[in-house]
Structure 1
Amino acid sequence: MRAALLVAGLSICVAAVAEDEDPTRFVTFSQDFAAQCVSRNGVQILVGNSHPGRTVTVWLDRYHMGVGTGDRSKTEMKPGSEPVPLGCSRTMDGPQEWRIVRAKFSD
Protein backbone atom coordinates (compact mmCIF):
# COMPACT_ATOMS: atom_id res chain seq x y z
CA MET A 1 0.00 0.00 0.00
CA ARG A 2 2.76 2.41 0.96
CA ALA A 3 4.75 1.61 -2.20
CA ALA A 4 1.65 2.21 -4.35
CA LEU A 5 1.13 5.63 -2.75
CA LEU A 6 4.79 6.50 -3.31
CA VAL A 7 4.61 5.49 -6.98
CA ALA A 8 1.38 7.46 -7.44
CA GLY A 9 2.95 10.51 -5.79
CA LEU A 10 6.03 10.31 -8.00
CA SER A 11 3.87 9.96 -11.11
CA ILE A 12 2.00 13.13 -10.21
CA CYS A 13 5.27 15.01 -9.62
CA VAL A 14 6.74 13.84 -12.94
CA ALA A 15 3.55 14.84 -14.78
CA ALA A 16 3.60 18.29 -13.14
CA VAL A 17 7.25 18.86 -14.14
CA ALA A 18 6.57 17.69 -17.71
CA GLU A 19 3.58 20.05 -17.95
CA ASP A 20 5.63 22.98 -16.63
CA GLU A 21 8.25 22.28 -19.28
CA ASP A 22 5.88 22.07 -22.24
CA PRO A 23 7.29 24.82 -24.49
CA THR A 24 3.86 25.46 -26.04
CA ARG A 25 2.73 26.88 -22.69
CA PHE A 26 5.28 29.68 -23.05
CA VAL A 27 4.26 30.81 -26.55
CA THR A 28 2.16 33.94 -26.17
CA PHE A 29 0.16 35.95 -28.66
CA SER A 30 -0.41 39.67 -28.19
CA GLN A 31 -1.83 42.59 -30.15
CA ASP A 32 -0.60 46.05 -31.10
CA PHE A 33 -2.39 48.92 -32.80
CA ALA A 34 -0.12 49.25 -35.86
CA ALA A 35 -1.41 51.85 -38.33
CA GLN A 36 -1.50 49.55 -41.38
CA CYS A 37 -3.64 47.05 -39.43
CA VAL A 38 -5.95 49.60 -37.82
CA SER A 39 -6.71 50.99 -41.28
CA ARG A 40 -8.14 47.52 -42.10
CA ASN A 41 -10.14 47.43 -38.84
CA GLY A 42 -7.63 44.98 -37.37
CA VAL A 43 -4.65 44.81 -35.04
CA GLN A 44 -1.05 43.65 -35.40
CA ILE A 45 -0.60 40.08 -34.09
CA LEU A 46 2.68 39.31 -32.31
CA VAL A 47 4.16 36.09 -30.93
CA GLY A 48 6.40 35.99 -27.88
CA ASN A 49 8.17 33.79 -25.35
CA SER A 50 7.09 34.05 -21.71
CA HIS A 51 9.65 31.57 -20.31
CA PRO A 52 12.00 33.39 -17.92
CA GLY A 53 15.16 31.53 -18.91
CA ARG A 54 14.81 29.33 -22.00
CA THR A 55 14.75 29.98 -25.74
CA VAL A 56 11.63 28.72 -27.53
CA THR A 57 11.38 27.91 -31.22
CA VAL A 58 7.84 27.83 -32.56
CA TRP A 59 6.37 26.77 -35.91
CA LEU A 60 3.12 28.51 -36.88
CA ASP A 61 0.61 27.94 -39.67
CA ARG A 62 -1.28 30.92 -41.07
CA TYR A 63 -5.02 30.75 -41.67
CA HIS A 64 -6.96 33.22 -43.81
CA MET A 65 -10.72 33.31 -43.34
CA GLY A 66 -10.52 29.97 -41.49
CA VAL A 67 -8.62 28.16 -44.25
CA GLY A 68 -4.97 27.12 -44.01
CA THR A 69 -2.82 29.02 -46.50
CA GLY A 70 0.12 26.63 -46.56
CA ASP A 71 2.34 29.34 -45.05
CA ARG A 72 4.42 27.99 -42.18
CA SER A 73 6.80 30.18 -40.23
CA LYS A 74 9.56 29.25 -37.77
CA THR A 75 10.53 31.75 -35.09
CA GLU A 76 13.21 31.46 -32.41
CA MET A 77 12.54 33.63 -29.36
CA LYS A 78 15.06 34.22 -26.59
CA PRO A 79 13.83 34.79 -23.03
CA GLY A 80 12.97 38.44 -22.40
CA SER A 81 13.05 39.33 -26.11
CA GLU A 82 10.48 41.57 -27.75
CA PRO A 83 7.47 39.84 -29.36
CA VAL A 84 7.80 39.16 -33.09
CA PRO A 85 5.20 40.71 -35.43
CA LEU A 86 3.35 38.19 -37.59
CA GLY A 87 0.90 40.35 -39.51
CA CYS A 88 -2.50 41.97 -39.28
CA SER A 89 -5.55 40.21 -37.84
CA ARG A 90 -7.38 41.23 -41.03
CA THR A 91 -6.42 41.43 -44.68
CA MET A 92 -8.44 43.39 -47.23
CA ASP A 93 -10.51 40.21 -47.77
CA GLY A 94 -11.10 39.00 -44.22
CA PRO A 95 -9.64 37.79 -40.92
CA GLN A 96 -6.41 35.87 -40.55
CA GLU A 97 -4.78 34.08 -37.65
CA TRP A 98 -1.76 31.97 -36.72
CA ARG A 99 -1.90 28.59 -35.00
CA ILE A 100 0.87 26.73 -33.23
CA VAL A 101 2.02 23.61 -35.05
CA ARG A 102 4.95 22.79 -32.79
CA ALA A 103 7.17 24.39 -30.18
CA LYS A 104 10.43 23.27 -28.62
CA PHE A 105 13.11 24.58 -26.32
CA SER A 106 16.20 25.49 -28.32
CA ASP A 107 18.78 25.66 -25.55
Structure 2
Amino acid sequence: MNEKMIEARLRDGVKVLGGVAYKWVSPGNAGVPDRIVALPGGAVHFIELKRESGKPTRMQKAQITRLRALGADCAVVYGLGGVESYLKIAREVVQYGISAARLPEILH
Protein backbone atom coordinates (compact mmCIF):
# COMPACT_ATOMS: atom_id res chain seq x y z
CA MET A 1 0.00 0.00 0.00
CA ASN A 2 1.46 3.36 -0.98
CA GLU A 3 1.62 6.45 1.20
CA LYS A 4 -1.15 8.21 -0.74
CA MET A 5 -3.60 5.40 0.10
CA ILE A 6 -2.50 5.46 3.74
CA GLU A 7 -3.11 9.23 3.86
CA ALA A 8 -6.57 8.76 2.35
CA ARG A 9 -7.50 6.22 5.05
CA LEU A 10 -6.30 8.61 7.78
CA ARG A 11 -8.18 11.55 6.25
CA ASP A 12 -11.40 9.57 5.82
CA GLY A 13 -11.21 7.99 9.28
CA VAL A 14 -10.66 11.36 10.97
CA LYS A 15 -13.57 12.83 9.01
CA VAL A 16 -15.88 10.08 10.33
CA LEU A 17 -14.88 11.16 13.85
CA GLY A 18 -15.91 14.74 13.06
CA GLY A 19 -12.36 16.02 12.68
CA VAL A 20 -10.13 17.21 9.87
CA ALA A 21 -6.73 15.99 8.68
CA TYR A 22 -5.08 18.88 6.88
CA LYS A 23 -2.20 18.22 4.50
CA TRP A 24 0.69 20.26 5.86
CA VAL A 25 3.08 21.90 3.45
CA SER A 26 5.30 24.55 5.00
CA PRO A 27 7.61 26.26 2.48
CA GLY A 28 11.09 26.73 3.90
CA ASN A 29 10.49 24.11 6.62
CA ALA A 30 11.53 20.77 5.17
CA GLY A 31 10.50 17.68 7.06
CA VAL A 32 7.30 18.87 8.72
CA PRO A 33 4.79 16.04 9.38
CA ASP A 34 2.39 15.12 6.57
CA ARG A 35 -0.87 15.91 8.38
CA ILE A 36 -2.25 18.13 11.10
CA VAL A 37 -5.26 16.40 12.65
CA ALA A 38 -7.77 18.49 14.59
CA LEU A 39 -10.38 16.53 16.54
CA PRO A 40 -13.61 17.62 18.22
CA GLY A 41 -12.82 18.79 21.74
CA GLY A 42 -9.62 20.59 20.75
CA ALA A 43 -7.03 17.82 20.41
CA VAL A 44 -4.46 18.51 17.68
CA HIS A 45 -2.01 15.86 16.45
CA PHE A 46 0.87 16.11 13.98
CA ILE A 47 1.14 12.89 11.98
CA GLU A 48 4.02 11.72 9.79
CA LEU A 49 2.83 8.87 7.59
CA LYS A 50 5.11 6.15 6.28
CA ARG A 51 4.66 2.93 4.39
CA GLU A 52 5.17 -0.11 6.58
CA SER A 53 8.82 -0.31 5.51
CA GLY A 54 9.43 3.46 5.34
CA LYS A 55 11.75 5.47 7.58
CA PRO A 56 11.62 9.14 8.60
CA THR A 57 14.37 11.31 7.17
CA ARG A 58 16.82 13.18 9.37
CA MET A 59 14.87 16.41 8.79
CA GLN A 60 11.55 14.73 9.64
CA LYS A 61 13.03 13.42 12.89
CA ALA A 62 14.34 16.91 13.71
CA GLN A 63 10.96 18.55 13.05
CA ILE A 64 9.12 15.96 15.15
CA THR A 65 11.62 16.42 17.99
CA ARG A 66 11.14 20.21 17.79
CA LEU A 67 7.33 19.94 17.88
CA ARG A 68 7.37 17.46 20.76
CA ALA A 69 9.71 19.76 22.71
CA LEU A 70 7.05 22.45 22.33
CA GLY A 71 4.49 20.11 23.87
CA ALA A 72 2.82 19.09 20.62
CA ASP A 73 1.48 15.58 20.07
CA CYS A 74 3.36 14.01 17.15
CA ALA A 75 3.53 10.45 15.90
CA VAL A 76 5.11 8.54 13.06
CA VAL A 77 2.42 6.21 11.74
CA TYR A 78 3.50 3.16 9.73
CA GLY A 79 1.19 1.58 7.19
CA LEU A 80 -2.48 0.86 7.35
CA GLY A 81 -2.10 -0.92 10.68
CA GLY A 82 -0.59 2.21 12.20
CA VAL A 83 -3.43 4.32 10.84
CA GLU A 84 -5.95 1.97 12.41
CA SER A 85 -4.10 2.17 15.73
CA TYR A 86 -4.09 5.96 15.52
CA LEU A 87 -7.81 6.07 14.68
CA LYS A 88 -8.55 3.92 17.72
CA ILE A 89 -6.73 6.45 19.93
CA ALA A 90 -8.44 9.35 18.15
CA ARG A 91 -11.84 7.72 18.68
CA GLU A 92 -11.15 7.50 22.43
CA VAL A 93 -10.02 11.12 22.52
CA VAL A 94 -13.28 12.20 20.85
CA GLN A 95 -15.54 9.90 22.91
CA TYR A 96 -14.00 10.50 26.31
CA GLY A 97 -12.57 13.99 25.93
CA ILE A 98 -9.02 12.91 26.57
CA SER A 99 -7.59 15.98 24.85
CA ALA A 100 -4.44 15.93 26.97
CA ALA A 101 -3.60 12.28 26.23
CA ARG A 102 -0.15 11.94 24.69
CA LEU A 103 0.29 9.94 21.52
CA PRO A 104 2.89 7.22 21.38
CA GLU A 105 5.84 8.40 19.30
CA ILE A 106 5.49 5.50 16.85
CA LEU A 107 2.39 3.56 15.78
CA HIS A 108 2.55 0.31 13.81
- TM-score, structure 1 as length reference: 0.29
Which protein has the bigger strand share?
1
State the structure with bigger RCO (CA 8 A, min sep 6), 1 or 2: 1
Bigger-Rg structure (1/2): 1
| TM-score when normalising by structure 2 | 0.29
